[in-house]
Structure 1
Amino acid sequence: MKKSSVALAVVAALAIAYPAASWVTGKRLETKLTQSDKKDVLFSNFKIVKQTYTRGIFSSKQESTIEFDVASMSPAAAPMSLQDQSEQGEQDAADPQAALDEQQVMPAPKLIKPLQFQVVNYIQHGPVPAIFGVAAGKIETEFVLDATTKEEIKRIFGDKKFLEIRTILNYGGGGKLQISSPAVNTTVGMNQDKLDWKGVNLEVAFDAAYKKLKFDLYSAGLDVLAAKGATSVKVGETKMQGDAERIYPDGFIYLGTSKASIASMSFSNAQAANKGFSIKDISLESTTSAKNDLLDSGLKFGIANITMNDTQIGNFHYDYSLQRLHGPSVNKLFIELSTIDQYKNDPQKMLEMQKQWKEYGIEILKHNPVISLDRLSLAGKNGEFKASAKFQFNGVQAQDFDNPMLLLSKIESAGEVSLADAMIDDLIDGSQTDPDARAMMRSQYYSQIDAWEKEGFLKREGKVLNSKISWKNGQLMVNGKAFPPKPAVDPAALGAEAAPMEMR
C-alpha cells in the first residue's frame, strides 16, 4: 500500500474516532459538572437552584443559578447556650407577663436572604479541547451581570474582559483553575482620579477529591493618584504561593505551608499636616502540621519598614502558634457548627449537638493545648517594644464544664513585656505633628508609668521597662503582685463605722 494511502486511512480513522472520543468525553464531563456532592462540607453552604446543560459533540454550555447561604455564616445564627436557655426559661416562668411584653417590644430578627448568582460555563470537550492541549475539557466561566454593573466595569476596562476564569480538567480527575484580570491605565470616579491597575493572575491546581491544592498568585500592584495630585495610594508587587492537603476527607482542615508578600504600601496627602504613611516588605507565612492526631499551626507576620509622617518607626513582627490541638475533635466540631443552621428549629437536636460539643471540648482540653504569642514586637532605631506569652488549660476534668468558674480556674498563662522609653517617643513624634499635642501625650504617658513603677508593676532597667505577667488559679499577677491592686483599708475608718454599731 502506498504511503499516501496509509496517511489517508489514518486521517479517515481519526476523523471518525475523534468525534466519538469527544462525545464520550463530553458525556463524562456532563456527569461530573452536573452532580453536586452535598455531603462535602466545603460546599455545604452552596445550593444549585436551577441548572440547564446543553451538550454538543465538541462543546457544551452549562447555565446555573447558585444560592449561597449567608445566614448560616452569620454570628446571629449561633445558638443560645444551654445555660442561657435555662436562665431565660427561669426568667420567663418567674414573670410570664414581662416575657410577653418583651416579645412584643423587641423587634423580630431580620431574615438574611440567601445570595443568588448566575454562572455560565462554556465547555470544550477533550481529547484536545479547542487545540489547547491534551485534557478532558476546558471550561471558560462567566458571571451573569446586570446592565448597570456591566456599564460600570466597561468604564474602567473598556473592551477588555475584566475577569477571565478558566478551568482545565484532567482525564485522571482534578485539574487547574486559572483566574486573571488584565492591566489597565485609566481614570475613575467623579473626579477622574488616575488608576494604574497592573493586573493579577491566580492559579490553583487540585486533585479529584479537592484533597490536595497548590496555589500561586501574582500581581504587579496598583497606583491611584487623585486628579489634583494631592493624595495617592500605592500597592507594590504582591505574591502568594502555597500547598495544602486535606487531612480529613469530610472536613475543613488542611495541612501545608503558604507564603505571601507585598513589596510596599503607602498613602500620602501633600496638603495635610500628617502626610501619611508607608510600609515595606510585608510578609505572611503559615504552617500547619499533624502528628498522632495532634495539630500544630503557626503564623508569622512581619513588616520590615514603617514610616509615619516622614518619621521612620521601625519594623513590626507578630507571630503566634496553636499547639496540641486534637484534630479529630476540632474537625467534628467545625463540621457540626457549619451545619447548625438546619437544626436551629429542632430543640431536641440542638440539645444533642451541644452535649456532643461538650465531649469534643473535653477531648480537646485533655491534651493540654497551648495558644502561644511567640513574638509581638515593634523595633525602631532608638528602642523596642516586645512581648511574648503562653495560654493553656491545665488539668481539666469533665465536671469542670458544668461550672464556668471551675473551668476558668484551670487556665494558666505566663508572659513577658518590655518597652524602651525611646520607642514611645518615636511613636508620639510619628503620630502627632502639633508640638503641644506631643507634650500632652508625653506628660500623660510618663505620669502613668511613674505610678505603675511605684506600685511595682513595672521594673526599670536603664531606659527599658519590664513586666512579668501570669494568670493562675483565677488571679492575674504582675511582677508577683495581684492586679488590679486591692484598695488599702484605713483602720480608723473601720473603727468609725464600728462605733455606731456598738451603740445600737
Structure 2
Amino acid sequence: MAVDGRRDTRDKLIDLTRAQDHLPTPNPNPAAGARIPPRADNGKARLKKIGVVLGGVMVLALAALAGAAFWFGLEAEKTYQHMIERFSTGGAQVTTTRYERGWLASRAETVVRFPGVPFEITAAHDISHGPIPFARLPDGVGGLRPVQAAVKTRFSLAAKGQDERLKFLSSLPALDADITVDLDGAGRVRTELPPLTKPAAGGGRLEWRGLNGEITFDREWKRFKTEIHAPGLSFSAPPPAAGGGQDPGGRPAVRGIPGGVTFEQLAVRADLHEGVGGYLLGETTVTLDSISAGPLLRLQGLQFSSVARAAGNDINLELTYRLDALGLADQRHGPALLAVEVRRLDAAAIGKFEKEMNAIYRQGLPEEQASLMLMGKMLGLVGELSKKVPELEVTKLSVKTAMGEITGKAKIVLDGSKADIGENPMLVLTAVSGDMELIMPAGVLKPLLAPLIMQDIQAYRQGGRLTAEEIGRLDPETLARVVDQALPLYLSRHDLTKYLIHDNGQYRIVATLRQGQILVNNQPWRVRPAQFP
C-alpha cells in the first residue's frame, strides 16, 4: 500500500511538472536555493508594446496628415486660380504677382487695377493648407473642423504714378480678411477695418469708426451672401478764418460746415446668384441711419433696395428708395418713397455689352478713344434691348412735406420691335413713348409764387391802385389768405409752374411723349430758345 501511495504521488508530481511548461526557466544556480522563483510581472512589457503601436499609428497619421496638407495645398491653389479667373472676367485687371506654395502653407500676392481709377489694390495672402490649418489655430480660425484652406488676406491701397494728392492712400489702415475655404470649395470671408482718426488739412479731423462684415460664397463663385456694417464716418472742418484766407496751395480757403458732416450706421445686405446670361439675380439692401451736415441739414432713415428676377431670358428689376425724414433748418419733411420697376431687359444683350466694355477697358486705350468706342457699343445695346420692348415705370412717388404731399407716377416704353435702332440710332426719338403725372399741394408753390404776389401788391400800392388804408388792413393772416387765393393767377409767371393746372385745391401736370413730340397738359411743349446778349 505504501508503494502504491508513493507511485501515485510521483505520477501526480510529474503531471503537475509537465503542466507548467509556460513557467519561466528555473534559476540555473542551484546554490541560490532549491526554491523556484515566482514568474515576474509582464505589465511594463505590455505597456511598452502598446506605446510602440501607438507611436507607429501617430507617425502614420502625421505622415498622412502631411501628405494631405500637400494635396490640400494643390487644391487651394486651384481654388485661388479659379477665383482670379472669375474676377478677371469683369472690367478689373487682376494679376498674380507672386505664388509660393509650401508643404503646410503658401503665400500669394494679387494686384487689382480698375481702368480710369488712379489707385490700385494689393492683396497679400497667407494660405494655411487643410485639412487642419495649424498656422491659423492660434487665431481661432479653422479649429478641428476639416477645411481646404484658411487664408489671412490684407488689402492695401496705393496710388498709380506720382500723383501727390493720392499719397495719403498708403497711410490708410489695411483691410484684413479671414477667408475659410471648405472641403467642397465653398467658404466665407470675414472682413474688418479698424477705426481711424486722422487730422485733415487746415485743422479738420476725419473719424472713421471701422467696418466689419461677412461674405459667403459657393464653390463656383456664383452665389453670394453679404453682410457689411460700418458704424459711422464724420468729417469736421475748421471754422473759416475771419476775412477769408488761403489754403497752403494759395487757393481761396473753403468755408467749413459748422458741426461737420456725419454718416451714421451704414449696413449692406445682399443675397445674389448668377442667373440667366450671367446676370446676378437676387436682393440687395443698403441702409443708412442718418446723414447730417451741421445743424441745418439732417436726413434720417435712408434705404435703397433692389430685386432682380429672371422672366424667361429677360430680367425684371424692382428699385425702391426710401427716406424717413428730412430736417432742413427748423422744417421737417418726410417720409418719402420712390418705387421703380424695369421690365423685359434682354439678359443676353446686357452680357454681350459687358464683355465688349471690359475688352475695351483692358486695351488701355486713351480716354477719348475709349469713350467713343463705348458710345458706339451703348447705341448697339439700346438697339438690342429695344427689340424686347423694355419699359420703365415709376409705380409710386410720394413725398410728404410740411405743406402737403407730392405724388406722381410715370411710364416710359422703348419699342424697337418694328425698327432697327441699332442701324439707325435716330429712330430712338420715335421709338420712345411715355406718360407722366405729378400732383402737388398749393403750399409747395408758395415759396415760388408768393414773392411775385407781394411784389405786385407793393407795386399797386405805389401806383395808387391800393390805398394806404387797404394795405393797412393786410395783417399776416389776411395776407396769407390773399396769397393762397391768388396762386392760380400766377402760375404762368414762373417757369417751374406755368405748366401746372389748378385742380380741386391741388396742382397737377400731365406730360406725354409720342413720336418724338412732348405734350404738356395736351399742349405742345416748346423749348424757349436761348437768349444771347
TM-score of the pair, normalised by structure 2: 0.66
What is aligned with 2:331?
A: 311
Question: What amino acid is the match of 1:482?
Answer: P
What is aligned with 2:524?
A: 482
SS in 2 for 1:61: strand
Tell me which structure has the larger Cα radius of gyration. 2
Return the alpha-carbon distance in structure 1 between the equivalents of residues 236 and 449 of structure 2: 29
Identify the range of structure 1 (226-235 vs 457-466) with the bigger mean alpha-carbon deviation.
Answer: 226-235
Consecutive unaligned residues of structure 1, counting only runs of 5 or more, are: 74-113, 154-160, 269-274, 346-351, 430-438, 488-504
| Alpha-carbon distance change, 421 to 146 in structure 1, aligned in 2, over 3 angstroms | closer
Q: Any idea what the Cα deviations from partners look like across 1:193-222, whole Å, max 9, x if unmatched? A: 555533211211112222111100112223
Matched, 1:70 2:115: yes
Question: What amino acid is the match of 1:477?
Answer: L
| Alpha-carbon distance change, 70 to 450 in structure 1, aligned in 2, over 3 angstroms | same
Work out which structure has the larger RCO, using CA pairs closer than 8 Å and 6 or more positions apart in sequence: 1
Return the alpha-carbon distance in structure 2 between the equivalents of residues 221 and 353 of structure 1: 37
| Alpha-carbon distance change, 12 to 353 in structure 1, aligned in 2, over 3 angstroms | same
| Alpha-carbon distance change, 471 to 187 in structure 1, aligned in 2, over 3 angstroms | closer
What is aligned with 2:291?
A: 265
Q: Any idea what the Cα deviations from partners look like across 1:213-264, whole Å, max 9, x if unmatched? A: 1100112223445577942332222211111111147x4x211011121111
Whether the 8 Å CA contact 2:204–2:235 is kept in 1: the answer is yes
SS in 1 for 2:70: helix
Question: How far 1:282 moved relative to its partner?
Answer: 0.7
SS in 2 for 1:231: coil
What is aligned with 1:502?
A: none
Question: How far 1:51 moved relative to its partner?
Answer: 2.5
Return the alpha-carbon distance in structure 2 between the equivalents of residues 260 and 226 of structure 1: 27
Matched, 1:209 2:220: yes
List aligned pairs for 1:142-153, cutoff 5 A: 142-143=154-155, 149=168, 152-153=171-172
Q: Any idea what the Cα deviations from partners look like across 1:20-77, whole Å, max 9, x if unmatched? A: 21111112223443567658763453142x623222222111134x362515x9xxxx
What is aligned with 2:511?
A: 469
List aligned pairs for 1:96-111, cutoff 5 A: none
Return the alpha-carbon distance in structure 2 between the equivalents of residues 143 and 486 of structure 1: 54
Whether the 8 Å CA contact 1:70–1:115 is kept in 2: the answer is no
What is aligned with 1:92?
A: none
Matched, 1:222 2:268: no
Consecutive unaligned residues of structure 2, counting only runs of 5 or more, are: 1-45, 160-166, 240-256, 366-372, 451-478
Q: How many residues in Structure 1 have an aligned counterpart in Structure 2?
A: 411
Whether the 8 Å CA contact 2:286–2:304 is kept in 1: the answer is yes
SS in 2 for 1:412: strand
| Alpha-carbon distance change, 401 to 33 in structure 1, aligned in 2, over 3 angstroms | closer
Whether the 8 Å CA contact 1:61–1:122 is kept in 2: the answer is yes
Question: What amino acid is the match of 1:298?
Answer: E
| Equivalent position to 1:459, from 501, 516, 521 | 501
| Alpha-carbon distance change, 359 to 174 in structure 1, aligned in 2, over 3 angstroms | same
What is aligned with 1:60?
A: 106
Whether the 8 Å CA contact 2:409–2:437 is kept in 1: the answer is yes
Q: Any idea what the Cα deviations from partners look like across 1:335-354, whole Å, max 9, x if unmatched? A: 22322356899xxxxxx999
Whether the 8 Å CA contact 2:180–2:188 is kept in 1: the answer is yes
What is aligned with 1:198?
A: 209
What is aligned with 2:402?
A: 381
Matched, 1:294 2:308: no
SS in 2 for 1:372: strand
Q: Any idea what the Cα deviations from partners look like across 1:165-199, whole Å, max 9, x if unmatched? A: 22212221132222211235x45235655555332
List aligned pairs for 1:17-166, cutoff 5 A: 17-34=64-81, 42-43=89-90, 45-48=92-95, 51-64=97-110, 66=111, 68-71=113-116, 117-129=121-133, 130-131=136-137, 132-133=141-142, 134-143=146-155, 149=168, 152-153=171-172, 162-166=174-178
Return the alpha-carbon distance in structure 2 between the equivalents of residues 319 and 379 of structure 1: 15
SS in 2 for 1:208: coil
Whether the 8 Å CA contact 1:313–1:427 is kept in 2: the answer is no
Return the alpha-carbon distance in structure 2 between the equivalents of residues 356 and 146 of structure 1: 32
TM-score of the pair, normalised by structure 1: 0.70
What is aligned with 1:272?
A: none
| Alpha-carbon distance change, 398 to 181 in structure 1, aligned in 2, over 3 angstroms | same
| Alpha-carbon distance change, 301 to 344 in structure 1, aligned in 2, over 3 angstroms | same
Return the alpha-carbon distance in structure 2 between the equivalents of residues 151 and 404 of structure 1: 46
Matched, 1:170 2:182: yes
Identify the range of structure 1 (278-287 vs 144-153) with the bigger mean alpha-carbon deviation.
Answer: 144-153
Question: What amino acid is the match of 2:343?
Answer: Q
Whether the 8 Å CA contact 2:395–2:409 is kept in 1: the answer is yes
Whether the 8 Å CA contact 1:396–1:407 is kept in 2: the answer is no
Return the alpha-carbon distance in structure 1 between the equivalents of residues 434 and 169 of structure 2: 54
Question: What amino acid is the match of 1:138?
Answer: A
Whether the 8 Å CA contact 1:452–1:458 is kept in 2: the answer is no
Return the alpha-carbon distance in structure 2 between the equivalents of residues 205 and 116 of structure 1: 25
